[in-house]
Amino acid sequence: TYIVNDNCIAFKHTDCVTVCPVDSFYEGESMLVNHPDECIDCGVCEPECPVDAIRPDSDPEAKDWVGFNRKYAKLWPIVIEQKPPLPGPDEMDGAVGKLETHFS
Ligand code: F3S
């Protein structure tokens, strides 16, 4: 499965939802998640994200995010169309501690 990590926060580019064949992305105020049980592992979303926020769960750093993605996919509304991105400043790309300071 593929997951969204906290580098999505402040951006929400939503390029990922335009290519997902099973519409498994869900939208929170500050980031998206991908439902791990609906994702069919096709991998087309991973290269689409301009800030590399999508990873396969085989990535050691992604493992911790599977539960997070599953939890919020059940709480947030589905998103199936591209939307204008959040105006996250460039320095937010790769910033440390985004989840703690900017998650809502
Ligand atoms: Fe987020 Fe990247 Fe999708 S910024 S909304 S995971 S394209």
- The number of the ligand 1 atom at minimal distance from the alpha carbon of 32 is 5
Question: pLDDT tens digits for 3-33?
Answer: 999 999 999 999 999 999 999 999 999 999 9
pLDDT of residue 58: 95
Range of the domain at 31: 2-81
Percent of the chain as helix, strand, coil, to the nearest 5: 25, 10, 60
- Whether residue 65 has its Cβ less than 6 Å from ligand 1: no
Query: How many domains does the chain divide into?
Result: 1
- pLDDT class of 48 with cuts at 50, 70, 90: very high
Structure tokens, 65: 């995010």
For residue 35, CA distances in Å to 4, 31, 47, 69 come to 9, 13, 18, 6
Residue 49, domain member (yes or no): yes
Q: Is 13 in the pocket of ligand 1 (CB under 6 A)?
A: yes
CATH code for position 36? 3.30.70.20
Q: Is 33 in the pocket of ligand 1 (CB under 6 A)?
A: no
